[in-house]
Amino acid sequence: MSLLDSITFNDAGLVPAIAQDAVSGRVLMLAWMNEEAVLQTMATGFAHYYSRSRKAQWKKGESSGHVQKVLDIYLDCDGDTLLLKIKQTGPACHTNRQSCFYKHRQQDAWLTIESPLEQ
CA dist., res. 13 & res. 11, Å (int)? 5
Provide the residue range defining the domain that includes 65: 4-112
- Across residues 17-32, what is the average pLDDT? 98
CA dihedral sign of residues 15, 43, 45, 22: positive
User: pTM of the predicted model, to two decimals?
Assistant: 0.93
Most distant CA pair in the chain: distance in Å?
Answer: 48
- Per-residue model confidence (pLDDT) at position 2: 84
Assess if residue 36 is contained within a domain. Answer: yes
In a domain, 117, yes or no: no
49-82 tens-digit pLDDT:
999 999 999 999 999 999 999 999 999 999 999 9
Looking at residue 119, its pLDDT comes to: 65
Residue 118 lies inside a defined structural domain of this protein: no
Assigned domain for 119 exists:
no
Partners of 60 in the beta sheet? none
